Structure 1
């Protein structure tokens, strides 16, 4: 067969790129499987007590935790566009002042939105005094699609998203770099039917096969083109 240099190089380049992207998706799938195994292992582990001693978010995420302190309702943040069973609502995120002097953000639960006045919050209660909060450590209080930048958490209680580090800088609180997704009942009427973490491993495997199928298709096209060129009359 006669091969033309430029078309052959382009086909080889296409194959190299698509094969590499396939392996990248395979690596992402393996990473997510490791996270899933970690989540399942932590489900049966004893909860870790959170104090003012800093804990890296990467080392504690998805771990069961507990913290003892009192809520700071004056610094509440409502995360908008958090639906529950097709009903619009908010996540109620509030700092917890730990008994030893530290702080940690707590995603207390879901609150329905007022159908008539968006900024009018449905009634809920905040326990006073020190209490135990139990939950799951998460890197953030959930992320929703956002156009542009959110407002300042120090001056705006309703936000689309909340970055822990940014909130710590705005509020001046020495926060732990993660959020506790509360699971225990504190008699406040908030909903804590938390969705299970969706890692999307199946999508990564699907993309992997798609990239590798494109590599095979590029090879097949190259061989077909070369055969046509070889049998073409001069």
Structure 2
């Protein structure tokens, strides 16, 4: 190629490494988009699946699926946990969790009662009383919300009144607070028209939905093309000017 000057080995190496890095990042973003879409499909499939007995999946839930279960037992009276960082509503609010003792289980099951919208103030919403006596619950047996960066230590041990409030949900900390072990997942209850709680069987990917991952992938692939174009432009031969008389 007469129009191109031979680039140095350093320029070639830098361009190759940069392009491969950008391509790898783009492929990773595509994989993340596919993973999140697969999770959303599994949630949609679980909502219409026939319920299973909780004891069959309690300790060893399926890794690649979300089980819809029936479970019988009783709530622990007046033991509620409020997760105060969900983003369901612009007025604020809390996700309410209640410990539940399955009739045939050896641990406690944490039940996601649902989201309770706020009232526009810093005060916690008014909580309805837990049902008493034997209960039969239906819902999805799902992983607990991600902890993220747990800063400030265990805030539950410093609270002496119920309900207790937390900005992240750690099953180990809640089990320690209750003095007993918990099952590895939580029960997200099915929606009920008569319930005050807002219940949605989905994972909140609003901050980074699959479409945004694909947009970032396109951006990384564009960077890969850009570094190659920059190499070619910088090493293009310029036409020689004729000597002046």
Place the TM-score, normalised by the shorter chain, in its bin: 0.7 to 0.9
Q: 1:196 to 1:37 in 2, by over 3 A?
A: closer
Q: 1:154 to 1:214 in 2, by over 3 A?
A: same
Q: Secondary structure at the match of 2:63?
A: helix
Q: 1:192 & 1:129 partners in 2: Cα distance? A: 23
Q: Secondary structure at the match of 2:49?
A: coil
Structure 2 gap segments, 5+ residues each? none
Q: 1:6 & 1:137 partners in 2: Cα distance? A: 55
State whether residues 85 and 168 of structure 2, in contact with CA within 8 Å, keep that contact through their aligned partners in structure 1. Answer: no
1:175 aligns with 2:175: no
Q: 1:54 to 1:143 in 2, by over 3 A?
A: closer
1:107 aligns with 2:116: no
1:94 aligns with 2:116: no
1:79 aligns with 2:71: no
Match of 1:161 in 2: 168
Q: Which string of whole-angstrom CA distances, capped at 9 and with x for unpartnered residues, describes residues 56-82 of structure 1?
A: 455376332221111113431111133
Q: 2:9 & 2:155 partners in 1: Cα distance? A: 58
Match of 2:198 in 1: 192
Q: 2:167 & 2:45 partners in 1: Cα distance? A: 32
Match of 1:127 in 2: 131
Q: 1:183 to 1:167 in 2, by over 3 A?
A: same
Q: 1:232 to 1:80 in 2, by over 3 A?
A: farther
**TM-score computed with the length of structure 2 as normaliser:** 0.79
1:226 aligns with 2:235: yes
- 1:52 deviates by 8.6
Larger CA Rg, structure 1 vs 2: 2
Q: 1:103 to 1:82 in 2, by over 3 A?
A: same
Number of aligned residue pairs = 229
State whether residues 43 and 202 of structure 2, in contact with CA within 8 Å, keep that contact through their aligned partners in structure 1. Answer: no
